[in-house]
Chain A
Amino acid sequence: MNNNDTTGMSEIVKGITKIVFPFIMIFGISIVLYGHLTPGGGFAGGVVLTGGFVLLLLAFGKEYTFRILPRKIAKSLDSIGALGFLCIALLGLTGGTFFYNFVPKGRLFHLWSGGTLILSNIMIGIKVGSALFLAIITLSMARLVHIKKGLLYRQSEENK
């Protein structure tokens, strides 16, 4: 980071974000992975992951955030998450019916114990995280067009 960088917030906020961001990501991933044993699961973990990226967006500005998670990759992750969930459901057909739990179930109360539950949670976590991130980017990058005395002024209000 060079010293004349005026986007984002002050140096204190940037410093703290650099420390806190990995912990937020780990917290979100742990909510997703332990969804079959503790409260949470795919959707709640995905929202926490999005919160981490929004923190980056607010503290550093959109250029830096798009270097970490470009929009094209977010769009692809969105579709891959949904298609992965559909594939897990269709693969259940090999075990008998649609959505059947065809993976060997491990021991009770351990991480690998729900069968397809953990795989579905991961897919939904990926999808919700990237989809909400794209939605927040779209909503906050709006450019306002003012209609003032018959002339149209274009004023861009991007996240600085």
Chain B
Amino acid sequence: MIIYLLVALMVFIGLYGIIAKKNIIKIIVGMNILGYATNLLFIVLGYKWNGIAPIIPQNITVERFVQTAVDPLPQALVLTAIVIDLGFSAFLAALAIRMYAKYGTFDTDKIRRLKG
């Protein structure tokens, strides 16, 4: 129960980073923290107490393995989600570099040429 509360806390820290911070680099870090929190929620949902990793060693029967292994499906989903978040971060980092060249600043309060 307490682990889910901690994951929710991490989601709120990430959201705070995106909404309240003005520097583009801090917004990118906030997005990364939000991504980590979501992936952590997936992994925690598949956990079993005193479980083993979902890789069959050579000396175990299949029934015993199915009983004690943690769930491997969320781990596959999290791999894909990590790659997607990597794509977001790489694109935003390149965008931040180009914007510094055009606007001269990283401050989103000063990057306001589009109005209305």
Contact = CB atoms under 8 A, between A and B. Distances in A.
Does a CB–CB distance below 8 Å link A and B in the complex? yes
B97 interface: yes
B108 to A, nearest CB: 18
Query: Would you call the interface of chain A mostly helix, strand, loop, or mixed?
Result: mixed
A38 B97 CA distance: 38
Contacts of B58: 109
Contacts of A39: 53, 55
Query: Would you call the interface of chain B mostly helix, strand, loop, or mixed?
Result: helix
Contact of B79 (A38, A43, A138): A43
Interface stretch (A65-73, A91-99, A142-150): A142-150
B93 interface: yes
Nearest to B58: A109
B104 to A, nearest CB: 5
B54 to A, nearest CB: 10
B97 A139 contact: yes
A109 B101 CA distance: 54
Contacts of B104: 146-147
A144 B55 contact: no
A38 B100 contact: no
A146 B97 CA distance: 12
Given A39-B55, A109-B58, 7 more contacts: A37-B55, A39-B53, A41-B79, A138-B94, A139-B94, A144-B101, A146-B104
Interface of B: 53, 55, 58, 79, 83, 90, 93-94, 97, 100-101, 104
8 contacts: A39-B53, A39-B55, A43-B83, A139-B90, A139-B93, A139-B97, A142-B101, A144-B101
